[in-house]
Structure 1
Amino acid sequence: MSIPGLVMTIVSGILLFLGSVWIYSTTMTFGRSRASRAAIAMVSVGVVLGTVGVFLLLG
């Protein structure tokens, strides 16, 4: 178990949560509005960090 892997996994969980809330709030509250590029980038970075963090934790 590595500390950087644990930190990356925790940070990715936070980014995924915030990004999904941001996408949900912009797409569901304003009708036809689209998700912003920043929110999609936040979720993408969260997925990448989570994948790398899990590999570091298991490796």
Structure 2
Amino acid sequence: MTGDVTIQKQRKSAVADAEPLASLDEVIVLLKRQSRRLEGRDRLASDDDPLWACLD
């Protein structure tokens, strides 16, 4: 997911029009939101698993 954000930021640096810039900002926000949600879900899954709890 981090790589996708990086790619979108690079695309953003090559764009001058306001409309595409706004669209790329929306994509970046969406990717970051999804990343946080997945990290939270992974954290919850590892908390419920005794093996992961032991390794943590």
Q: For 1:47 and 1:41, locate their aligned partners in 2 and report how far apart those are by CA, in whole Å.
A: 10
The residue type paired with residue 22 of structure 2 is R
Q: Which amino acid aligns with 2:42?
A: L
Which is richer in helix?
Answer: 2
Q: Stretches of 4+ moved more than 4 A in 1?
A: none
The two structures have a TM-score, normalised by structure 1, of 0.56
2:30 aligned residue: 45
Structure 1's unaligned 5+ residue stretches are 1-11, 28-32
Q: Deviations over 1:4-44 (max 9, x none)?
A: xxxxxxxx3343122111112225xxxxx556111001100
- TM-score scaled to structure 2, two decimals? 0.59
Q: Which has the higher contact order (CA 8 A, sep 6+)?
A: 1
Partner SS for 1:26? coil
Counting matched residue pairs gives 43
Higher Cα Rg, which structure:
2
* Runs of 5+ consecutive residues of structure 2 not aligned to the other structure: 45-56
For the aligned residues, what is the CA RMSD?
1.9
